[in-house]
Structure 1
Amino acid sequence: MKRILPLLIILFFIFLLNGYVLSGIHTLSYSPYVTPIFWLAIVLITAAVIYGTQRLRQHGLDLFFKIASHMAITLVVSELIMVMMLFLGDAYGLITGTPRNVRWVEASFMLMLFTIFLFVYGMIFGKYNYKVIEHTLYFEDLPESFDEFKLVQISDIHAGSFNNPKAVQRGIDLINRQHADLFVFTGDLVNNKAEEIKPWISYFSQIRAPYGQFSILGNHDYGDYIKWGTEAEKTANLNQLKAYHKDLGFRLLLDEHVHIKKDDQHIVLAGVENWGIGFGERGDLKRALSNTTDREFKILLSHDPTHWEAQVKSYIPNVQLTLSGHTHGMQFGLEAFGIKWSPVKYRYKHWAGLKTENNSVININRGFGFIGFSGRIGIWPEITVIKLKKIR
């Protein structure tokens, strides 16, 4: 009974939601075919999701479940938007004593169709709609030799989600066209298993920069979100993933730092293991920055931006620049016309782009890949280009 009750509640919610949507459609059409066709579609999609969920235990996250679940997500979100519009119109009609406004219902229905279009676009095109975002950052303590130094950051590749080699290659080519001095990757190479990156090694190994390619681990890289036969299997998976970083040509930084030297000067590039509130606090910032001084210019790679909020921005010696990812901008939102909004803001106050506090700057990359929802709407995959400038 405990297992059946949640399912019954969900089915009841689906019935109410679709019943209200159908009432709106009936306002626009009195065809006798509308009701049976509508409910047949809802029943088929619901059954596909239930069946796909049962398959998860035997087949994992397969194509059938992805298609069924994405159809359901698209339908539910679009219907919720129509329902909210319908409710506002019906509430106004109830207060004023006027009948349901057909024009308002038409607008509600068109908004639902537009939402479906956005989701389809996001799943087919949006997830590979790579955007280059450029920042120029000014620092008083930047070594003279590093004035005009350019670095490229990507984050959250999530290789297990890719299904379009040509599109991924387009993203790689766009990275290389930035002609960066330094390349950094800030974690989440895979969704769960090291083997996910294997088909893509030949792609990402094309990335080269004169001063090197460096990387860190993200929360998904540890294999925490799936079941393993033994702890030894999980450990072996992580070790294999670390080896793949080397195959990619990435120097993996594990609570350590290196000196990036130019002429007779250097900057510190440090990287920590994943540290994030609610996502595992593995990283050791003190160890990563051991033997560094206030006089050195420091760039820190830390996957989760909550690390910067909790520790980095107030750390001594000062970390001038932190590069993070993790949030993906939730792969859904609006960044246009002066608006910057995503539902992820209710989990992370600062979720993308630059923020400065205590003379410490963080950049949160929106992610190169995708996970969960196989698409992006309004929050596009990002290639960050950062140019360092010295204040004279």
Structure 2
Amino acid sequence: MKRKINLLPFVVVTILFFLLNAYVLSGIHTLSSSPIIAPIFWTFIAIITGSLIYAIQRMRDNGMDIFFKIATHAFLVLFVAEIVFVVMLLPSDTYSLFSGKPRNVYWVEFAMSLFVLTVLIFIYGIIKGKYAYRVIKHTLYFDNLPDSFEDFTITQISDVHAGSFQSPKGVQRGIDLIKAQKSDIFVFTGDLVNNKAEEIVPWISYFSQIKAPYGQFSILGNHDYGDYIKWDTESHKRANLEQLKLHHADLGFKLMLDEHVELHKDGEKIVLAGVENWGIGFGERGDLKKALTDVNPNDFKILLSHDPTHWDAEVKKHPSKINLTLSGHTHGMQFGIEAFGIKWSPVKYRYAHWAGIASENGRYLNINRGFGFLGFSGRIGIWPEITVIKLKKS
């Protein structure tokens, strides 16, 4: 028996998309009444939309190849720019409708200017923004920090997603910034690849340049387990994970799998622990209890845990005080604004705290905005981040 397909959602979306474009075209007609505008406009829309549909249909055989990326990004840029145009023009048109006055041409020009600006911003984000690395520095104070670790520095990156990189020059710029920090320790908090271990191979010579006096440490993120693609067999999936673990060693990273190490300085120590990925909705693999086995509750502790929901769910109230947790995962959704006192990204509707420092119960969390990118091949307003944290005694 054939499964009945519900076409209603498709019909509704098609109608809404047509109305959106018809409204945009009406705005263009306000600025020019040339008869060739409508056929050119609808031909352009048909090409962009048709390319998207074709790219999705062939994705099963070709994956997310270059054609898929171009088609999806072209449609995304157009759609967002049209939404901006409509949002800006609609209030003016509503006023004109109820006042009986003609459409305000100057307002149409303003809306069109924002349309063009939106397209240009997206183009910048796709070409330059994804490699526009920022160094963000924090100084954190702790009452139980051992004296020897005063001014101890940590450089953190997260979410490399090596399978998305296309620019060796861009990546090297980020590596050079990491090296320039000359921190005491380097940590990577998960998602080295998108899905497959082989994605990091072309970039091993880049990330293996990173060295720190007290070592380089890493953990796994949700994407590292290969959960988001289909494998021929379960054994292939397991083999991929084991190969990825070996690549962490190739990078010179000590991969921490529910374990801890002690960092010693001048006869004193702090504890660095790392767990496998633990995130609400993304797999709760990590075992914090195992990672802290034989750790004195009074020791100063730093935890590497990829998903910040782990901090909310378990870490911040854990009976053994974990002074600082370093996470990533959110990417800041690679889109938003952090300027003029504004901090906003759509990801805030999924994560109450999605970037930077949070504190509660005398414990700190830092969420790194990510070194790489995934899905949307760019960054707008939420730039790739290298975090440097200095520890101070309060």
Query: In the alignment, is residue 61 of structure 1 matched against residue 64 of structure 2?
Result: yes
SS at match of 2:166: coil
SS at match of 2:75: helix
* Amino acid in the other structure paired with 2:332: G
Partner of 2:183: 180
TM-superposed CA distance for 1:251, in Å, is 0.3
Whole-angstrom distance in 1 between the partners of 2:257 and 2:327: 15
Whole-angstrom distance in 2 between the partners of 1:12 and 1:75: 17
Cα deviations across residues 27-52 of structure 1 (Å, max 9, x unaligned)?
11111111111111100011111111
TM-superposed CA distance for 1:9, in Å, is 3.4
TM-superposed CA distance for 1:3, in Å, is 6.7
TM-superposed CA distance for 1:295, in Å, is 1.6
Alignment of 1:98-113 (within 5 A): 98-113=101-116
* Amino acid in the other structure paired with 1:53: I
Alignment of 1:1-392 (within 5 A): 2=5, 5-391=8-394
Contact 2:129 2:380 in 1 (8 A): yes
Whole-angstrom distance in 1 between the partners of 2:255 and 2:149: 23
SS at match of 1:2: coil
Q: Which runs of 5+ in 1 are unaligned?
A: none
Whole-angstrom distance in 2 between the partners of 1:228 and 1:11: 34
Cα deviations across residues 106-139 of structure 1 (Å, max 9, x unaligned)?
1111111111111000000000000000001111
Whole-angstrom distance in 2 between the partners of 1:10 and 1:70: 19
* Amino acid in the other structure paired with 1:108: A
Cα deviations across residues 249-291 of structure 1 (Å, max 9, x unaligned)?
0000001100011121110000011111111111111111112
Contact 2:273 2:291 in 1 (8 A): yes
TM-superposed CA distance for 1:293, in Å, is 2.0
* Amino acid in the other structure paired with 2:39: P
TM-superposed CA distance for 1:95, in Å, is 2.4
Whole-angstrom distance in 1 between the partners of 2:19 and 2:199: 40
Whole-angstrom distance in 2 between the partners of 1:140 and 1:364: 22
* Amino acid in the other structure paired with 2:12: I
Whole-angstrom distance in 1 between the partners of 2:15 and 2:297: 61
Whole-angstrom distance in 2 between the partners of 1:352 and 1:213: 23
TM-superposed CA distance for 1:5, in Å, is 4.8
TM-superposed CA distance for 1:73, in Å, is 0.3
- The TM-score with structure 1 as length reference comes to 0.98
TM-superposed CA distance for 1:10, in Å, is 3.1
SS at match of 2:380: coil
Whole-angstrom distance in 2 between the partners of 1:64 and 1:11: 23
Whole-angstrom distance in 2 between the partners of 1:370 and 1:58: 24
Whole-angstrom distance in 2 between the partners of 1:10 and 1:221: 35
Cα deviations across residues 140-195 of structure 1 (Å, max 9, x unaligned)?
10011100101100000000000000010010011000001000000000001111
CA RMSD of aligned residues (A): 1.0
Percent identity of equivalent pairs = 67
TM-superposed CA distance for 1:90, in Å, is 1.1
Whole-angstrom distance in 2 between the partners of 1:47 and 1:172: 40
SS at match of 2:117: helix
Whole-angstrom distance in 1 between the partners of 2:367 and 2:117: 30
Whole-angstrom distance in 2 between the partners of 1:271 and 1:118: 38
TM-superposed CA distance for 1:100, in Å, is 1.0
Question: Aligned residue pairs: how many?
Answer: 391
Cα deviations across residues 203-252 of structure 1 (Å, max 9, x unaligned)?
00000001000000000001111111111111011111111000000000
Cα deviations across residues 310-355 of structure 1 (Å, max 9, x unaligned)?
1000001100000000000000000001110111101001000001
SS at match of 1:112: helix
SS at match of 2:137: strand
